[in-house]
Amino acid sequence: MFDGVKKTIGDKEYIIPALSLKQVQDLKDTITHLRLDDYSGMAKIIHAAMSRNYPQITLKEVTEILDMNNILDITEAVCNFSGLKKKMMEMAGNGLTGV
């Protein structure tokens, strides 16, 4: 298991690690163009990070366990833990709170 942030989603606790360098490269366009209403992009980022510790989890499963109460918080945690805080700060200027 990679070190990460512990997040309870539903009734299960997950350890969500930082994105790998390859994942950041693969998701560059998604990360660069991420907006507050881009739930699909957020789910892709979260799925990529989760797949490092939970390789069996699918994007569909991630979208089924995420909800409007946790998606921003988990996206923020992954981006901060992955060193992508600058992107989150840009989003904060567009209305994201809690950064």
pLDDT in tens, 54-95: 999 999 999 999 999 999 999 999 988 888 876 666 766 655
Q: What is the pLDDT of residue 70?
A: 95
Q: What is the pLDDT of residue 81?
A: 87
Task: Give the span between the Cα atoms of 76 and 26, in whole angstroms.
Answer: 19
Tell me the domain boundaries of the chain: 4-92
Q: What is the pLDDT of residue 77?
A: 92
**Positive or negative CA dihedral for 12, 18, 20, 23?**
positive
Reported as a single tens digit per residue, the pLDDT across 22-54 is 999 999 999 988 888 999 999 999 999 999 999
